[in-house]
Amino acid sequence: MIDPHSVYLNALGITNTNGEVGSQQQSKWKQINKYVQILADLVDRSDLKDRKSLNIVDMGSGKGYLTFAAYDYFKNIRGIDVKMTGVEARSDLAAISNDVARASEFDGLEFVQATIDSYPLKDVNILIALHACDTATDDALFQGIRSGADLIVAAPCCHKQIRKQMKPPPMMHDILKHGVMIERVAETLTDGLRALLLERAGYATRLFEFISVEHTPKNNMLVGTKLAEAKNTDDIETQIRDLKEFYGIGSQHLESLLAEK
């Protein structure tokens, strides 16, 4: 989907000057294209599919591989008027990414140095947060909910907050005494609670594999699509409460942020 001869791919070390993908960058190249394919499909399934303009914010953009690819696709392949902002806490990465954006003549793309929880959002259509570590994912989800983003796309990374709190019931002690098992349950529980909290906030949710673990171990994608009408949340409240009680969870960061909203 993405042209390998693009300036930014060479600047980011994905391709050489001939547009050839390096042998050590094949996994990243596959990840980039799969990500763009998924994002395009999500937009086409939403009320954004016929929009002529999009405001997209990428929270925790890092080196910007996926930020550049998303902008390139929507702007240059689909011809949409795109304003895209990459939010990155490290000033050096934000500066380098802005240099690459200028070299690529991507006038609608900019990178700003800020933390996820502090960056002000307004009129956002799509909020993206890929691999924001632990509760930074919750900060991004909260920002998306609070700003009323039409589409929220997150690939959660790390699940430390819930893992540290878990007190499994006696019936599960022998199963969850194994580190690998409790890690998997913590991941499932964390992302499951996030999906329920998004639904409680008026979003339809999907949770699916982003790209095979052969290419990256961080492979869950959580998507929230804003609903036109809110639905009854009593059942969701009950599920959240029961899950927390069953596993001995005292607090979940996104839930706490929403309670303070």
199-232 pLDDT per residue, tens: 999 999 999 987 654 555 557 899 999 998 878 8
How many helices, marked H, and strands, marked E, lie in the chain?
Answer: 9, 7
Q: What local confidence, expressed as pLDDT, does residue 212 receive?
A: 53
Q: What is the pLDDT of residue 60?
A: 94
d(CA 32, CA 9): 10
Residue 241 carries which side chain, given as an amino acid letter?
Answer: R
> Mean pLDDT of residues grouped by 10 in the chain (261 residues)?
94 96 93 94 96 97 96 97 97 98 98 96 95 88 97 88 89 90 91 96 92 60 92 93 94 95 74
Amino acid (one-letter) located at 160: K
Q: Starting from the edge strand earliest in sequence, which strands make up the sheet with 109-113, in order?
A: 109-113, 81-88, 53-59, 126-133, 151-157, 220-226, 203-209
pLDDT of residue 218: 58
Q: Measure the CA–CA gap between 77 and 129, rounded to whole angstroms.
A: 23
Which domains does the chain carry?
A: 7-160+203-230 (3.40.50.150)
d(CA 48, CA 192): 26
Q: Is 201 exposed, middle or buried (0-12, 13-18, 19+ CB in 10 A)?
A: buried
How far are the Cα atoms of 123, 204, 242, 261 from residue 192, in angstroms, in the given order?
Answer: 27, 13, 13, 21
pLDDT at 220: 85
